[in-house]
Amino acid sequence: MTVTVGHDSQKTRKSLTAGGQTVSYYSIPAAEAAGLGEFSKLPAALKVVLENMLRFEDGKTVSVDDIKAFSDWGKMGGQNPREIAYRPARVLMQDFTGVPAVVDLAAMRDGILGLGGDAQKINPLNPVDLVIDHSVMIDEFGTPRAFQANVDREYERNMERYVFLKWGQNAFNNFRVVPPGTGICHQVNLEYLAQTVWTDTDQHGNMVAYPDTLVGTDSHTTMVNGLAVLGWGVGGIEAEAAMLGQPVSMLIPEVVGFRLTGQMMEGTTATDLVLKVVQMLRKHGVVGKFVEFYGDGLDRLPLADRATIANMAPEYGATCGFFPIDDETIRYLRGTGREESRIALVEAYAKENGMWRGADYAPIYTSTLELDMGTIVPAISGPKRPQDYLPLTSASTAFGEYIRGMRKAPTVPKMEKAEMTAEGGAPAPAPEDIPGDHLGMSTASVEGQDYTLRDGSVVIASITSCTNTSNPYVLIGAGLVARKARALGLNRKPWVKTSLAPGSQVVSEYLNAAGLQEDLDAVGFNLVGYGCTTCIGNSGPLAPEISKAINDGDLVATSVLSGNRNFEGRISPDVRANYLASPPLVVAYALAGDMNIDLTTEPLGTSKDGKPVYLKDIWPTNKEIADIVHAVVTREAFQKKYADVFKGDEKWQAVKVTDSETYDWPTSSTYIQNPPYFKGMSKTPGVISNIDGARVLALLGDMITTDHISPAGSFKGSTPAGKYLTDRQVPTSEFNSYGSRRGNHEVMMRGTFANIRIKNEMLDGVEGGYTKGPDGAQTSIYDASMAYQEAGTPLVIFGGIEYGAGSSRDWAAKGTALLGVKAVIAESFERIHRSNLVGMGVIPFEFTEGMTRKSLNLTGDETVSIHGLDGDLKPLSLVPCTITYADGTAKTIQIKCRIDTEIEIEYVEHGGVLHYVLRDLAKA
């Protein structure tokens, strides 16, 4: 990355010496002295953005007025939503979102040649790291050979994708791939890639120090904010633009201050803390805002715990959850093996540039809230959302209430029941009424013995996800629970599928050093792989007899995982209730095997001498955990495991690719296809047109997540995507997952709005990707959209609040665009998905004046026209929307156009951000 120096740079450019090196930097105190404003009371998170303005100020893209706006932010009580152009230092990707991004870059090389440009113009200008972590599935578990078996199967399934990624590593500059089996991208970033303060040369050859910043194609990129590295998730589309030198267009955000006080009590974990934080911040409302944590509680909060809180920023809805640089940051950098010269630079830079959290740290915030960590109790969240916080003492009672509510729910017609079963979901309740106090039961034969499963039986217990496996305190805690349970003769229940999937190989290093992996193995938590696994739905199939019992009995089976997401239909098609918990509690629930059991008062099982064993009997003390952490989590372990991080194992080294400037798209591939975005593209942009006579493709409720819109998991042969693959002689056993096939637009557009749990309110009581076609009959959303497109009919989607919550996956927007949807009208949008829609040329709109799809009595049979788009459209304009009902009556309402910035207007005019960038590069 080349550091650009603006015309006012001499006023703010200073130098400092630390760690045996002298570097230049852009000084915020110097900017104050130069009369650019008052910045000393800005939150550290905002100072990082301000430094970016100082460094890139050129009078054009970034102006002096942009810098002064940060001073106004403080004077206006933490608000000044001015549009700015922000340039992150680097980009982080994972393979599910990274493959389509590299596909787009390869397609852009073809596209720029078609426009008469130079293919070498399509090259990342900023460093890009792609970590392959989303591909491994848990096919085998509970045995010593599980890890190797799952890795072997991963390569069998994904070789086409790996060949393509390795081609990309050779073909593009500034692009590195971390091979499979290494870890999860966010944990690898936290433990190795991130530097907190970055250094690079400017156009004069001078070394410049500046805050480490990034965007990532995964929403949990925010995890690295625990290390004072400002980063957040964006769609692959936006990340590609950032790679190619396009600044991230954003508004100066509000910053919510979250004051932590007190100290965690005995028996509580960082997971318990973050689940409470998620609940509080969701209630406070932080969508589109920065959250910065401060207060004397940070003095007693390890960086691993901070990373857990930062990781779940998407779950509380914030752009990021930032922790300023302090003594703990320095301790972690040293403990994870960073160079001493870098550590010295981080401390000196933070103190010189006003980004150090000392005892006197007291910035201005837009709003604040406070939590005494001494009030935290053991907790879980579920069954559907991360913010559904439950103290452990009330978890079983809450589950009972949830079941009673489900059993009283309206029943589903037999036709949809059959279809849902074919789609891979658990069958719907039988048409007859089910008593409210009914608790479903079914028998499963496991290893020759019959067991009774019931609503609430835990069938998946998984220690998974970067959220918690980056934290040695909770991993050592889980190992000690396993050790104590093993000593008493307890084991997992036979119907529970158990797994341990750490986010990095360092975890295995310290678990083995402590002898705890042996104890985890003894209760079924064998290593299954280094990757996301269950957290993203790669839980793998349940044993056939367990799956059959669940479906035959129409049971509400449960999963317990140490992840960050528990949305409907995400974890397993056989599981309808999902709970987030700390790793020690995951082990405890595997031992108990049932969500109906109150772990705080009822026994988990019986010891080998016939006595009941309670949770308190196997729960380690904080001192036991800390003593082992201090003994086995060493600087040397991190240095050893990250020494050859890009080399990979023999399988990766054996992947052969050919060197070529453009990709030779294999026509027979069902994983990688040249997308249609840039084919036949003109050299000049179009205009934004009014939308006339659009039909409704789907009428959706609140918190429709990107998992609902673009599921990542498995799919059946009866789905449109399954039929596509079957027509190409791909057996069902080789379907893999939607996530693994994101390099093929044909599969992905067929999988859009295809989650087995999505509910289109146009249809009565039906779950899954269905709608009404042009003839009014029920059909798949894909088939309906193709029929409408053939007739030249535009389409719209209606939604509720928090539309597009969850993962950053760009396919939720790409698929929407390819289905012919021109507009999405909702009550509110989550940040990343709104940006992704704009990036694909789909216009997001919000209802105004308290109107909703319900208050308008929408059924999906309406015709929709949106005008005011073809003139001088301004960001956030109100425009008229005319809804014509089935009986011919019409109503015109005002809706807000959520194209938020001037540059986004241009993106939509070009048909999307990549079209904008491609035309700009071809012209250059």
Q: Going by C-beta distance under 8 Å and a sequence separation of 6 or more, which residues neighbour residue 118?
A: 112
Task: Give the angle subtended at the CA of 143 by the CAs of 138 and 144, to the nearest 5°.
Answer: 105
- 610 and 701 fall within a common domain: no
Q: Is the pLDDT of residue 500 over 50?
A: yes
> Which pair of structure tokens corresponds to residue 67?
């810098």
With residue 583 as reference, give the H or E element that holds it.
helix 583-592
| pLDDT on residue 438 | 52
> Are 832 and 842 in contact, with CB atoms under 8 Å apart?
no
- Percent of the chain with pLDDT strictly greater than 70: 95
Q: What is the CATH number of the domain that holds 569?
A: 3.30.499.10
- 229 and 162 fall within a common domain: yes
Spatial CA neighbour of 105 closest among 628, 608, 511, 672:
672
Instruction: Give the integer Cα–Cα distance in Å for 879 and 342.
Output: 52
Q: Is the pLDDT of residue 349 over 60?
A: yes
- 634 and 525 fall within a common domain: yes
Residues belonging to the chain: 924
Q: Is residue 436 part of a domain?
A: yes
- 695 and 635 fall within a common domain: no
- 766 and 898 fall within a common domain: yes
Q: Is residue 6 part of a domain?
A: no
| pLDDT on residue 421 | 27
Q: Is residue 681 part of a domain?
A: no
Q: Is the pLDDT of residue 2 over 70?
A: no
> Are 473 and 269 in contact, with CB atoms under 8 Å apart?
yes
Q: Is residue 405 part of a domain?
A: yes
pLDDT digits (tens, 9 = 90+) for 730-743: 999 899 889 889 99
Q: Is residue 12 part of a domain?
A: no
pLDDT digits (tens, 9 = 90+) for 442-469: 888 787 788 889 999 999 999 988 888 8
pLDDT digits (tens, 9 = 90+) for 516-566: 999 999 999 999 988 888 887 778 889 999 999 999 998 999 999 998 888
- 721 and 589 fall within a common domain: no
Instruction: Give the integer Cα–Cα distance in Å for 270 and 275.
Output: 9
829: pLDDT confidence band, cut at 50, 70 and 90?
A: very high
Instruction: Give the integer Cα–Cα distance in Å for 826 and 798.
Output: 6
Instruction: Give the integer Cα–Cα distance in Å for 180 and 233.
Output: 21
Instruction: Give the integer Cα–Cα distance in Å for 760 and 746.
Output: 23
- 396 and 508 fall within a common domain: yes
Give the number of domains in the chain: 3
Domain end among 219, 251, 283? 251
- 744 and 879 fall within a common domain: yes
With residue 866 as reference, give the H or E element that holds it.
strand 863-866
113: pLDDT confidence band, cut at 50, 70 and 90?
A: very high
Q: Is residue 369 part of a domain?
A: no
Instruction: Give the integer Cα–Cα distance in Å for 546 and 526.
Output: 20
> Which pair of structure tokens corresponds to residue 219?
């929403």
Backbone phi, psi, residue 728, to 5°: -105, 25
Please state, as a whole number, how many other Cβ atoms lie within 10 Å of the Cβ of residue 772: 22
Tell me the average pLDDT across 425-435. Answer: 32
Is-above-0.75 flag for pTM?
yes
Burial class of residue 256 in the structure, from the number of CB atoms within 10 Å of its CB (0-12 exposed, 13-18 middle, 19+ buried)? buried
Domain end among 202, 226, 251? 251
- 739 and 801 fall within a common domain: yes
Structural domain that includes position 568: 379-641
Q: What is the CATH number of the domain that holds 877?
A: 3.20.19.10
Omega cis (within 30) before 247: no
| pLDDT on residue 356 | 98
The DSSP bridge pattern shows strands 230-233 and 213-216 to be parallel
Q: Which of 146-150, 625-629, 724-728 has the lowest mean pLDDT?
A: 146-150
pLDDT digits (tens, 9 = 90+) for 839-872: 999 999 999 999 999 999 999 999 999 999 998 8
| pLDDT on residue 445 | 79
Q: Is the pLDDT of residue 417 over 50?
A: no
Q: Is the pLDDT of residue 8 over 70?
A: no
Q: Which of 38-47, 386-395, 800-809 has the lowest mean pLDDT?
A: 800-809
Tell me the average pLDDT across 267-293. Answer: 95
- 718 and 612 fall within a common domain: no
Domain end among 222, 251, 280? 251
